[in-house]
Chains A and B, each alone.
Chain A
């Protein structure tokens, strides 16, 4: 099997629009969660979100921008950053062996929302001609291929909250097998449209607004956790066959060492401890590492009642008594839940945390929950943690559990 190197990282997120910004924000424990400021905010009950400070007008020509939903804008800008950092010379590469693997849970949400608004609210009989192209789930991946003239496969994975971990995992398998030299892999999500916010509200999974500090509304693993906070953004990496990266003198930022996937067929939303534990075990087996090799964990850690207790039990089931000694970070406490982009952002944060030798914090964890009794790096980063191998967990509505094993740069 060919090893899979990470040679570029691109991010658009609530914590910043570059790798250096997001690691600095996360390390400082800065939450980007805030009260929603939108014309429709009065019609939402719990209105905290984590938005990205991003205006596509600065990054795209106007005729192109008119064809790009926010989700594709995020993806394109993140992919550009990753490509720039990788210093990959596309002109010298076999473009047929470069693929694009993107996860998104909801696609072009804003464009679909706009179309329905004009039909149902404005009573118009017209929707914008680009609505299909902007709303379709594969648009972000397709646009990356178009912008960089890539001829390899471009695939879109939609497994809800694990979409981008699946995309990264599947991309890494293609490279490991020798099918591709390079892949753009990650996820993008832009779910902060009125219609989708209402739909999430109706699920009763969104966090109540913390009245004293709205930024602290997402409280993973805490006794007073009340749900998730929706976030938006993209994280896209350039993955590359190891020897190829070495041969061209690329700066290797880390390694996708293993990928485990299991399906929970029991229920559409209820997580299963066995399924989550099996996904972790499968990822460790794929990476050929023993549980004792795992130095730190980026948890799925949504801040929902259902997830955090089950995830804690799954970690205990795999790691046994040592589970209590492994630093576990739930960074969603700061950047919110980016749904189909969450796994990619957390994968990137994990690689950066290892590079900076820090365990990132789980913020807003002041009220303990007896069911969640592990080391969550509560309320502040832990410095000088020399982690070399981490796992990043993503568990999803629909039952798709995906776990990545990540290795620090050599």
Chain B
């Protein structure tokens, strides 16, 4: 089964035409050409790929590994069977 990092890599290769070997966990997004605005757009695609809802509160994501860990976090709280109250409270806290 593919890890989150693998799936994120596939997405970055497909949509951003990045070279897979550059997508190590500690690769800086900025150096890959994805600045803070680009991260906002990347989140949009992550919502589609991982079937999660990105909360409104800003998070600092600097590396490819940061993004993978963030996705894992979201999936853990939002996947079916996760504590519904956690999801609701995180969404209301974000103002959505």
Contact = CB atoms under 8 A, between A and B. Distances in A.
Interface of A: 61-64, 66-67, 126, 128-130, 133
Given A126-B44, A128-B44, A129-B44, A62 B37 contact: no
Given A62-B15, A62-B16, A66-B16, A130 B33 contact: no
A64 B33 contact: yes
Interface in B35-57: 37-38, 40-41, 43-44, 47
Contacts of A62: 15-18, 33
A130 B41 contact: yes
B34 interface: yes
Contacts of B15: 62, 66
B32 interface: yes
A186 to B, nearest CB: 27
A63 B44 contact: no
A241 to B, nearest CB: 36
B28 to A, nearest CB: 13
B37 A129 contact: yes
B11 to A, nearest CB: 12
Query: What's the dominant secondary structure at chain B's contact region?
Result: helix
Greatest chain B CB density within 10 A among A67, A129, A130 is at A129
Contacts of A66: 15-16, 38, 41
A63 B40 contact: no
Contacts of B18: 62
Taking residues whose C-beta sits less than 8 angstroms from the other chain, chain B's interface range is 10 to 19
Interface of B: 15-18, 32-34, 37-38, 40-41, 43-44, 47
B59 to A, nearest CB: 15
Contact of B32 (A63, A126, A128, A130): A63
A128 B33 CA distance: 18
Nearest 10 interchain pairs by C-beta: A63-B33, A62-B17, A129-B40, A129-B41, A62-B16, A129-B44, A63-B16, A63-B34, A130-B41, A63-B38
Nearest to A61: B33
A63 B40 CA distance: 12
Contacts of A133: 37
A67 B37 contact: yes
Contacts of A63: 16, 32-34, 38
A126 B40 CA distance: 13
Given A61-B33, A67-B41, A129-B41, 7 more contacts: A62-B16, A62-B33, A63-B33, A66-B16, A66-B41, A67-B37, A129-B43
Nearest to B33: A63
A62 to B, nearest CB: 4
